Amino acid sequence: MENESLFNTENPKAVETKIIEKENTVSPVEIKQLVVSPAPLRMIALGEVKGIVDITDRKKEQIDAIVWNEREIKLILNQGTDLISFQPEFESCSEMFFQREEKRDGMSLFGEEKGVRIWEGDYEPIQFGKSNLIKFLKKYASYFEPEIEKSIKNMKVTERKIEDSEMLSLDDDDNVRTVTEETKNTNIPRSFKAMMPLFGGFEVELDFEACVTKKTDRYGNAKNKNVIELRVVNAREAIRQTMEEILNKFPEKIPKYYGRTDVHINRSRY
């Protein structure tokens, strides 16, 4: 028969003693409590291509796998004492075209966020006033055809507004739908290409799409002012291509997976 254990809860390093009765013999057994401190965790975030390539080569025997997507590259180490990730530092000429709003999967049953998806949506277009776009094109003139800047300087916009009213019901004079159609014609090229650096010395051909639209504020409300909106329509393909070129610099024997991974420490996600 085993009696209730004697344990001093006020001292975390106390000795727990159990009395064990066996075959009419009572033998005290001493059990020492083992206190284990968590291993120190180092979080290493790199922004240069050379840095992630060098550290991957030095730690190649400790790396189980590489998980990557358009936003980052993470090294999965078998010892688990380091969190090493790479997030590119974009060149100033292209950075603005690669900003996008993070979208999450929603909430779990327990009220916790499920996390950001690997990919959802497009990069946001950038709105320029005429003078600001001319300044941008002048600053980075070596990447754009001269005709682009010339067309912006001589920008012409022809607007046409058509309203059409349609009676939806003969029984109700108030039930009228008004359809408004707005068209804008401009001499600005609707699409053009530019060979631009992204990060780490990598250059990619970007496909720009241009249109004239009304300026919107941070809440999406339209203002009574025309702006030129530029969008890189191949943004995802461009950055993915660049990430794949970086992965080609890593040792071939390390498995590489497209996806994302999170580490949770005290309810914080990294």
Q: Judge whether 13 and 34 are in contact, CB under 8 Å.
A: no
122 in any annotated domain: yes
Q: What is the band of 8 on the pLDDT scale with cuts at 50, 70, 90?
A: very low
Q: Which domain holds residue 124?
A: 42-264
7 in any annotated domain: no
69-80 pLDDT, tens digit per residue, is 988 999 998 876
- Residue 256: how many CB atoms within 10 A of its CB? 14
Domain count, the chain: 1
Query: What DSSP designation does 143 have?
Result: G
* 154 strand-pairing partners: none
Averaged pLDDT for residues 38-53 = 84
Of 14-18, 186-190, 197-201, give the lowest mean pLDDT range.
Answer: 14-18
108 in any annotated domain: yes
Q: Which residue has the tokens 């990919």?
A: 119
65 in any annotated domain: yes
Tokens (6 digits) for 161 = 């507004």
Q: Which residue has the tokens 């530019």?
A: 194
33 in any annotated domain: no
19 in any annotated domain: no
Asked whether the predicted pLDDT for residue 13 surpasses 60, the reply is no
Please state, rounded to an integer, the average pLDDT across all residues of the chain. 75
Q: What percent of the chain has pLDDT over 70?
A: 60
Burial class (CB in 10 A: 0-12, 13-18, 19+), 10: exposed
Higher pLDDT pick, 187 / 53: 53
Question: What is the Cα–Cα distance from 82 to 84, expressed in whole angstroms?
Answer: 6
Question: Taking the model in full, what pTM does it have?
Answer: 0.66
9 in any annotated domain: no
Strand, helix or coil at 152? helix
141-181 pLDDT, tens digit per residue, is 999 988 888 888 777 666 555 555 454 444 555 555 554 44
Tokens (6 digits) for 51 = 């840095």
Residues counted in the chain: 270
Q: In this predicted structure, what is the pLDDT of residue 148?
A: 86
Name the phi and psi angles at 67, rounded to 5. Answer: -115, 130
Averaged pLDDT for residues 228-245 = 92
53 in any annotated domain: yes
Residue 194 to residues 94, 208, 232, Cα–Cα distance (Å): 11, 8, 10
Q: Which residue has the tokens 């327990």?
A: 110
